[in-house]
């Protein structure tokens, strides 16, 4: 193939990719609300990650004001701690180098 044939083939591939993107966008239009919700959740999680003191303050306020929240927080705190420990040990196990 010469340079002109390569350029034509490249142009055809670019046009085909553009048509595929348009088709995918058309078929995925019904999923747009789900993507919007996922974006909002992602934004909220990032905000909580940047402002952990606000979350801790709200939790402390709830622990003082509502006694039933104490049992709930203790139960889920234990579960969260165990999940965190499991994640850490699993992550350590996965990152070990393999032996030949």
pLDDT of residue 98: 67
Q: Is residue 92 part of a domain?
A: no
Q: Is residue 81 part of a domain?
A: no
pLDDT of residue 60: 86
Nearest by Cα to 77 from 63, 95, 61, 88: 63
Q: Is residue 72 part of a domain?
A: no
Q: Is residue 43 part of a domain?
A: yes
Q: For the full predicted model, state whether its pTM sits above 0.85.
A: no
Q: Is residue 23 part of a domain?
A: yes
Domain count along the chain: 1
Percent of the chain with pLDDT over 70: 95
Percent of the chain with pLDDT over 90: 54
pLDDT of residue 81: 93
* Calpha distance 26→50 (Å, rounded): 36
Residue 98 φ/ψ, nearest 5 degrees = -85, 145
Domain that holds residue 6: 1-50
* Calpha distance 13→26 (Å, rounded): 20
Q: Is residue 18 part of a domain?
A: yes
* Calpha distance 51→60 (Å, rounded): 15
């Amino acid at each position: 193939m010469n340079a002109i044939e390569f350029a034509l083939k490249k142009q055809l591939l670019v046009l085909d990719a553009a048509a595929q993107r348009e088709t995918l966008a058309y078929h995925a239009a019904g999923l747009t609300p789900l993507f919007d919700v996922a974006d909002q959740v992602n934004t909220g999680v990032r905000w909580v990650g940047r402002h952990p003191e606000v979350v801790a303050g709200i939790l402390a306020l709830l622990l003082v004001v509502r006694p039933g929240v104490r049992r709930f927080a203790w139960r889920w705190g234990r579960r969260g701690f165990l999940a965190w420990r499991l994640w850490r040990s699993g992550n350590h196990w996965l990152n070990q180098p393999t032996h030949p």
